[in-house]
Amino acid sequence: MTLLAALIAAIAAMGSLVVNVLVAGHRERRDVHRKAVEKELPDLADALHQVVATSYTQHRQLSLAKTDSAANWRKRGRDAALLLGKVRPRVRYSLPGADLGLRNLARLPDWVAHHGGRPEGQALLDQADSLATALHELIAQSWRDGQPPPAKQRRRIETLVDNLREYATIGARNQTIAEEPEE
């Protein structure tokens, strides 16, 4: 009887050890992923917001025929796009699926300028805002879960990029991927 109790205790201890090792490994991977994403969060969040916000203002100025003001807002949008372009390679592997969305949002100030304040420019901005919101959600969930975004969210970003490109310029719709912003 004592031998049976000792055997059960040994099996329980081994089971507990295995569970503890697995949990510790998962916790460590989650913490490493969070740290990788966390370093880039301030620049990434600011650039995402600024690209869309400045593009909205740029479109409004173009629709009011205030070209000097629109040019100023386009420059601010391009500065934010450059920041996105700098952050994008650093999050490419920790946030798979975000890369294509970031590339396309970096082109937004130029696309808005191409639309010249016409009404379809507002539809472009609405699509860009949807994409930026989805990217914020993807980044937040990835950080919260401590792991790369799930395939469902990556597909959602791809769909939103396709929707954005429907409203972009003709040249942008025919490209397979967006080019890097010029520095």
**pLDDT tens string 158-175:** 999 999 998 886 545 555
pTM of the model: 0.79
DSSP 8-state symbol, 147 = S
Rounded CA gap, 2 and 25, in Å?
Answer: 35
Residue ranges of the chain with per-residue pLDDT less than 50: 171, 176-178, 180, 183
pLDDT at 33: 77
Tokens for 31?
Answer: 């913490």
For 51-83, give one letter per residue: b (16+ CB within 10 A) or e. Answer: bbbbbbbbbbbbbeeeeeebeebbebbbbbbbb
Scan for tokens 């372009």, then name that residue. Answer: 85
